[in-house]
């Protein structure tokens, strides 16, 4: 199993550009989420999904969109990138969302917005 796979690993954008960060998991997990981590800070929850067709907002959802059309994929879209969105983005998944289990994280996508 590959676990949680994020692409791209690095990306540089100009202000106003759009892009999609991809996240895929091969563990048939129902729960998936996106976090961002700014330098020297902990992770903050952006959006999450408890299953295909269901998404909801986390702590810091502004400027980001998500969709969940399949169990495996949970892309994060930046519609108009801003320098404040420069961060490292982590995708995570779990077999149990509302219940307690273990979150599996990807290796991160490092985004710089100029």
Partner 1 sequence: DAKTTQPPSMDCAEGRAANLPCNHSTISGNEYVYWYRQIHSQGPQYIIHGLKNNETNEMASLIITEDRKSSTLILPHATLRDTAVYYCIVANNFNKFYFGSGTKLNVKP
Q: State the minimum distance, in angstroms, from the CB of residue 39 to partner 1.
A: 10
The distance from CA 21 to its chain's CA centroid, rounded to whole angstroms, is: 7
23, 66, 92, 113: which one binds partner 1 (CB under 8 A): 92
8-47 residues in contact with partner 1 (CB under 8 A) are: 31, 33, 35, 40-45
Q: Catalogue the E-assigned strands of the chain.
A: 4-7, 10-13, 19-25, 31-37, 43-51, 54-57, 64-66, 76-78, 87-94, 104-105, 109-113
Q: State the minimum distance, in angstroms, from the CB of residue 103 to partner 1.
A: 6
Cα separation, 48 vs 90, in Å, equals 12
Q: State the minimum distance, in angstroms, from the CB of residue 113 to partner 1.
A: 18
Q: Which stretches of the chain bind partner 1, using CB under 8 A?
A: 4, 31, 33, 35, 40-45, 48, 50, 56, 58-59, 88, 90, 92, 94, 97-100, 102-108
């Amino acid at each position: 199993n590959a676990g949680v796979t994020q692409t791209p690993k690095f990306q540089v954008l100009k202000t106003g550009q759009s892009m999609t960060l991809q996240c895929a998991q091969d563990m048939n997990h129902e729960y998936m989420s996106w976090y961002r981590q700014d330098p020297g800070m902990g992770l903050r929850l952006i959006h999450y999904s408890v299953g295909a067709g269901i998404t909801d907002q986390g702590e810091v959802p502004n400027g980001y969109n998500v969709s969940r059309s399949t169990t495996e994929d949970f892309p994060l879209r930046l519609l108009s990138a801003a320098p404040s969105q420069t961060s490292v983005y982590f995708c995570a998944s779990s077999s149990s969302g509302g219940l307690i289990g273990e979150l599996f994280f990807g290796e991160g996508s490092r985004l710089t917005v100029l």
